[in-house]
Structure 1
């Protein structure tokens, strides 16, 4: 692993990083922005979203951008003319929505729920139907799908674990199991690598961790602030991007302090899967 570098600073709270068309895209929570940054640190606002927190992003197979408008309970879609329209209405299933991942078949998985109750995972199929496919998730956060589209992994931040499901032919989830028990950890955003390991960000423990199925920790990158999410991208998907910021609670998210950063380092094992 190479030296840790700061690619971008002065953000509020970076979340939902995605490597897309040669740049890292991410949500800048608290500012209504989706930004993109290249490997030289040049960034620009790609769109503004009519919500504050939470909102996360991914793409449909046809290239249209999806945005989770979390507090509003809507999944938005950006059309070729850049207009944001409603792709799916999630309000009947839960009050607040968080992370999203689109698999290689176009199935959209979104997790959420109220802060004082177990979370759920919803499925939006390519034909537009919406249904719940998992429940009792202890504060659901990052999700990833294996490149063969048969396994979904979700971070349960309040459950100190990564949980896996089989993806059935119709997109339903089954065979729930603990993929990795992580004592004392609070896994947030996640991504997969070609050795089958998961990288996860951890806010309270201020680190980014690589772990294999079963829970063995393979590598830990210690940071000076909380790591909200991570993504493998760049050339050959061997750049690890970490979105980090000082965290003082939701009540301080509107403060003027801009401690958010995009940190990078080179790793030997490339990223795979979705997102």
Structure 2
């Protein structure tokens, strides 16, 4: 299934983007056969990628050593976002069970959060882990709106927010209060900033389709929240930040790259709606991209951070 698909390539909007790839580099399709790919997470020690196929209720695994793809977990409770914590453990957002879990090294599963103030979460969507061990996740309602990616349920909470799980006692703290549908999130390289996508435009004609930028305070709260970038093709979903602070984000036409100053400097065209992406490979300079039905990859002259 590996090959260079039509409709892919680098589109330069600013000279700064030209320095991030070579003319001979091309996008590869590594695998296809999903209904909605999401949540890629790179495991450096094993040289493999895990991602979610939400409607098919499974997680997939791509092995860098031989290029094979297999089912990692099925059923997966309609898993969505995934990441790897500082100890190399898988952290997962599950729509069906409306919880955030951690897969331990022995394969057992620990529930990190499934409620806030006694009420069930909506449907945890995406997740990142801070170097201090705190787990941050978004909780929109996508997994309870239909039976396609979970079970239809009435929300118990009064809104859709981002939460932080305290590493010391496991307590859950709400850190945002004005999002329509919080989605992807990522820290800046120094972890002083947290970027959060709002995909409210998916259900509201005039809803938000942007990424906001917050300052992370010492006590785990957020300050600010100005709009960093507004999507010009659908809406942003999952994204990652490289070591220079550039944002590489999903969109309907591919991966959009933003300089830290907010300028969109280029696009990697993908012939499917892109839901999420992550950096991987030995040098974290390979971008793994979750298209609607397929997993893509491309090498870039940028390196992802070790977290996320």
**TM-score, structure 1 as length reference:** 0.85
> Equivalent of 2:132, from 93, 105, 116?
105
For the residue of structure 1 that corresponds to 2:93, the secondary structure is strand
Question: Hey, what's the Cα distance between the residues in 2 that align with 1:3 and 1:85?
Answer: 40
Corresponding position of 1:215: 262
Is structure 2 residue 149 aligned with structure 1 residue 125? Answer: no
**Does the 8 A contact of 2:140 with 2:183 survive in 1?**
no
**Bigger mean CA deviation after superposition, 216-225 or 100-109:** 216-225
Question: Hey, what's the Cα distance between the residues in 2 that align with 1:100 and 1:49?
Answer: 20
Corresponding position of 1:43: 69
**Does the 8 A contact of 1:180 with 1:213 survive in 2?**
no
> Equivalent of 2:198, from 156, 179, 184?
156
- Quote the offset at 1:29 in angstroms: 1.2
> Equivalent of 2:239, from 174, 187, 190?
190
For the residue of structure 2 that corresponds to 1:268, the secondary structure is coil
Q: If you compute each CA radius of gyration, which structure gives the higher value, 1 or 2?
A: 2
Corresponding position of 2:16: none
Question: Hey, what's the Cα distance between the residues in 2 that align with 1:81 and 1:266?
Answer: 33
For the residue of structure 2 that corresponds to 1:237, the secondary structure is coil
Question: Hey, what's the Cα distance between the residues in 1 that align with 2:134 and 2:262?
Answer: 28
> Equivalent of 1:242, from 273, 279, 289?
289
In structure 2, list runs of 5 or more residues that go unmatched.
Answer: 1-20, 146-157, 202-207
| Deviations, residues 60-117 of structure 1 (Å, cap 9, x unaligned) | 3333322222243222222343222322222526422211111111111111133589
* Change over 3 Å in CA distance of 1:36–1:142 after alignment to 2: same
Number of aligned positions between the proteins: 258
Question: Hey, what's the Cα distance between the residues in 1 that align with 2:74 and 2:131?
Answer: 27
**TM-score, structure 2 as length reference:** 0.76
> Equivalent of 2:43, from 17, 20, 30?
20
The structure carrying a bigger strand percent of its residues is: 1
After the TM superposition, which residues 126-145 of structure 1 pair with which residues of structure 2 at under 5 Å, given as runs?
126=167, 127-145=169-187
In structure 1, list runs of 5 or more residues that go unmatched.
Answer: 246-259
Q: After TM superposition, where is structure 1 displaced by more than 6 Å over at least 4 residues in a row?
A: none
Is structure 2 residue 305 aligned with structure 1 residue 272? Answer: yes
